[in-house]
Amino acid sequence: MLKISSRSVEKMMPQDRLYSLRSLDTPMAGKILARWLMGIGVIFLIVLFLPWQQNIRGNGKVTALNPANRPQTVETVIAGRIQTWKVNEGQYVTKGDTIAIVSEVKEKYFDPQLLLRLREVIKSKESSLQSKDDKANALRKQISALRDGLRTKVAQAKAKLDAERVKFENAKNQFERNKKLFEAGNIPLTKYQDMEYKYQGAEADYTNAQIEIERLQAEYLDKINKAESDLNNTLAEQFDTQAELAKLRNELVNMEIRSQQYFIRAPQDGFVVKAARAGIGETLKEGDPVCTIMPQSNDVAVEMYVKAMDVPLLSKGRKVRIEFDGFPALQFSGWPSVSVGSFGGLVEVIDFVNSKPGEFRILVVPDKNDDPWPKQIRNGSGTQGWVMLDDVPVWYEIWRQLNGFPPSLYEEPLDAVIQTEEPKKEKKK
């Protein structure tokens, strides 16, 4: 046992017969466990040096890249009461198809012949306006005729005045001569008085001719002023009628447009997916939703929300792996090549402002170089996504996660490069 003798006792005595030796031997289970632990340790060490692709995780939903292809709420423009539904939920409609018909709820528009009556009122106003226009033209002609008559009468009166002036001057001369003769005693008193009488008559006629001119001017000016006053009143009434007519025409156009709003029509091609109002007779206010239309389009994208701290690492064109709700998938975020059931995408839009507290929205479009997205996905379906960054060893990723450090990039994001290069160019200029 102490190996002093060259003759060994161990060969002559089996060790398994001695309990003490059996208890000192290493158990078989321990050896197996040690081998397993060593194997796991070696595998773990190997795994620590494997490449791991860093990523940014986000959740979101399916949407459309073009806002025109997203679900659209159809609203009523006027207040009314639902009279008839023309479509069912899930039915396909084209642009301009009638979805529902509403009736009036405002007493101002209850008259079914309101448009006809408005047209009649407008026609009456147009006739009244034409009459006032004819009256104004007649007054203009009357004023013109009065002015012509004034000129003619004044000319005649002036001619008569000239004739009376000549008579007056002749009578005056004869009277002065006869006066001298009478004072000299050459003619009798009767002849002198006769000449004096003729002189006074000529003077009176001359004065009357002057007064007649003034009377004619005053008379015609009074008539002209009255006609001009009537013309101004007629023009004022005409302008008031034109204003009323314009207001009535505007009201008629508004009523014609309003009558078209009784028919709630589809703004574009798509499917009626949800009716906001049910039944017949429900009252609607201006702007109340009636239903929702999902446009028929192949334009599909994913709306994802990522943390604000990860936004500086994103850039347009980054690859994304997407997992859609309802489609089985096995995703290894760091090893996208071995993932199953996920689909590829590219970052198309990064919002400049946060959409939720601490989160920014990005839009992801299908990657044409990857498998096409399933046709069964619907707008609004939930998604999970991973924006792929650069490769690092697994041990580095574990260390980064334990310390809460952000992912690292070997190259600056494209958007940031563009923004930093522009100030440099401006400085050089």
Same-domain pairing of 75 and 178:
no
Question: Does residue 109 lie in a domain region?
Answer: no
Same-domain pairing of 54 and 81:
no
Closest CA to 56 of 334, 422, 404, 388: 388
Same-domain pairing of 147 and 189:
yes
CATH classification at residue 167: 1.10.287
CATH classification at residue 314: 2.40.30.170
Same-domain pairing of 254 and 307:
no
Question: Does residue 41 lie in a domain region?
Answer: no
Per-residue pLDDT of the chain (429 residues; tens, 9 = 90+): 455 555 555 555 555 555 555 555 556 676 788 888 888 888 888 878 777 777 888 999 999 999 989 999 999 999 999 999 999 998 999 999 999 999 888 888 888 888 888 999 999 989 988 998 998 999 999 889 988 888 888 888 888 888 888 888 888 888 787 777 777 777 787 877 778 788 788 888 888 888 888 888 888 889 889 989 999 999 999 999 999 999 999 999 988 888 888 999 999 999 998 888 877 888 888 889 999 999 988 889 999 999 988 888 888 988 999 999 988 877 776 777 767 888 999 999 999 998 888 899 999 999 999 889 998 888 889 999 988 887 777 787 777 777 766 676 545 555 544 444 444 444 444
- pTM, two decimals, is 0.62
Question: Does residue 184 lie in a domain region?
Answer: yes
Quote the domain boundaries for residue 417: 49-65+300-428
Question: Does residue 40 lie in a domain region?
Answer: no
How far is the C-alpha of 349 from the C-alpha of 313, rounded, in Å? Answer: 14
Same-domain pairing of 281 and 352:
no
How many structural domains comprise the chain?
3
Same-domain pairing of 132 and 169:
yes
Same-domain pairing of 331 and 217:
no
Same-domain pairing of 316 and 383:
yes
Same-domain pairing of 254 and 280:
no
Same-domain pairing of 251 and 267:
no
SS (H, E, C) 271-289: EEEEECCCCCCCEECCCCE
Contacts for 382 with CB less than 8 Å, ≥ 6 apart: 59, 60, 61, 324, 325
Same-domain pairing of 53 and 84:
no
Grouping H, G, I as helix, E, B as strand and the rest as coil, residue 91 is coil
Question: Does residue 192 lie in a domain region?
Answer: yes
Question: Does residue 2 lie in a domain region?
Answer: no
Show the beta-strand stretches assigned E in 196-342: 263-265, 270-275, 283-284, 289-295, 301-307, 319-324
Show the beta-strand stretches assigned E in 64-146: 72-75, 80-85, 92-93, 98-103
Question: Does residue 244 lie in a domain region?
Answer: yes
Question: Does residue 369 lie in a domain region?
Answer: yes
How far is the C-alpha of 312 from the C-alpha of 224, rounded, in Å? Answer: 87
Same-domain pairing of 396 and 333:
yes
Confidence at residue 416, expressed as pLDDT on a 0 to 100 scale = 45
Element (H, E) at 52: strand 51-63
CATH classification at residue 76: 2.40.50.100
How far is the C-alpha of 263 from the C-alpha of 93, rounded, in Å? Answer: 14
Cα end-to-end distance, the chain, whole Å: 95
How far is the C-alpha of 39 from the C-alpha of 54, rounded, in Å? Answer: 27
